[in-house]
Amino acid sequence: MKRLVFAALLSLFASGCGTPSFLVTPVQNTSSLDEQTVRAGKGFGAPKIAIVEVEGMIANMKSGGFMQPAENQVSRFAQELEKAAKDPAVKAVVLRVNSPGGTVTASDIMYETLVRFKQQTHKPVVASLQDLAASGAYYVSCGADKIVAHPTSVVGSIGVIFNTFNLEGTLAKIGAKTDAIKSGPLKDMGSPFRELDVESRAVMQGMVDEYYQRFIAVVTSNRPIKESATVKMVTDGRVFSGTRAVELGLADRTGLLDDAIEEAMKLANAPNAKVVIYRRPYGFSGSIYAQNTVGQPQANGGGVMELKIPGVHDPLPSGFYYLWNP
């Protein structure tokens, strides 16, 4: 038997098969951004339109996995706008938005960063809404001068959510319990190990309402929605198609990313501009639609289709979110 196994191994090696191997190529760990042209302009020294991404889960934390580049999306967003601000050749910015939203604070930081960029540079900004521009992603988009939505974009989900769950009954069934030693009765409010009591719920609801009013103020101060009935309807958490969003005033027009770029050129009076995008040295992209964060739909063993939300792979930690996560 041993001779047969040995002969089989010799046969494998002789046929060119061997144990799998990995080639690890070291790259420079740099925080710099490279500028890459994704559409040529006209003439020598053409001005630039810079594409800045708002993609995946909006959170002020690093993303990425084993042997993958890690990025803090808030930091990356601020860095790209800073690079666009310092470059006098950049005449306008296009936000390429494809995100379900994210945490309340991260969304607000990115919105305020965008507003300050416009105030300091006076460079126009156009948001191009792709597959998904919901909740916190729409919050950020409200900082743009114009919003161009694809007709089939999912837009809206204006509101706040705080998700919690209760394991108290489950623990009791297996004879387990938790006992928090705390400095005050509300220190562990929202804990999954005890029921959310009336006082805790009131406190959490108050915070949700506060963040919700901030969201409404951002929408109504940036979008031409005047009727109170319409404001109430578009801010009740539902989502709309891009076409319907235009009808309601949540977007200015429908169109593709190319249309948003043309809109930015008009606002900047730069019809011959080239289009650039910022990348880390180890991450090249070849077109304005490259590196989409939405994977292919997968079917599980039961034949049920599973659709991955961009950037959302794990259960969300407790917190307040401007997020569409059906």
Encode pLDDT of 82-139 as tens digits: 999 999 999 999 999 999 999 999 999 999 999 999 999 999 999 999 999 999 999 9
Cα separation, 104 vs 121, in Å, equals 26
Contact 39, 277 (CB under 8 A): no
The domain in which residue 274 lies consists of: 32-295+306-323
- The answer to the question of residue 25 being in a domain is no
- The answer to the question of residue 185 being in a domain is yes
Question: How sure is the predictor about 249, in pLDDT bands with cuts at 50, 70 and 90?
Answer: very high
Residue 30 has pLDDT above 90, yes or no: no
Which of 3-17, 40-54, 233-247, 296-310 is predicted with the least confidence, judged by mean pLDDT?
Answer: 296-310
- The answer to the question of residue 242 being in a domain is yes
Question: How sure is the predictor about 319, in pLDDT bands with cuts at 50, 70 and 90?
Answer: confident
pLDDT of residue 183: 75
- Write out the two tokens for 142: 């409200």
- Write out the two tokens for 69: 């580049």
- The answer to the question of residue 140 being in a domain is yes
| CATH code where residue 67 lies | 3.90.226.10
- Cα distances from 189 to residues 88, 130, 169, 194, 233, in angstroms, run 50, 37, 17, 8, 31
- The answer to the question of residue 173 being in a domain is yes
Number of domains in the chain: 1
- The answer to the question of residue 14 being in a domain is no
- The answer to the question of residue 1 being in a domain is no
Give the residue-averaged pLDDT of 14-24. Answer: 56
Contact 155, 129 (CB under 8 A): yes
Pairing mode of beta strands 48-55, 274-279: parallel
Between 29 and 225, the more confident residue is: 225
Pairing mode of beta strands 146-149, 161-162: unpaired
pLDDT of residue 71: 75
Which residues belong to the active site? 135, 187
Between 4 and 294, the more confident residue is: 4
- Sole residue written with tokens 């420079």: 28
- The answer to the question of residue 147 being in a domain is yes
Question: How sure is the predictor about 293, in pLDDT bands with cuts at 50, 70 and 90?
Answer: very low
Picking from 208, 207, 205, 204, the residue whose alpha carbon sits closest to that of residue 189 is 204
Residue pLDDT, tens place only, 208-227: 999 999 999 999 999 999 88
Residue 62 has pLDDT above 80, yes or no: no
pTM to 2 decimals?
Answer: 0.79
**By percentage, how much of the chain surpasses pLDDT 70?**
68
3 state SS of 139? helix
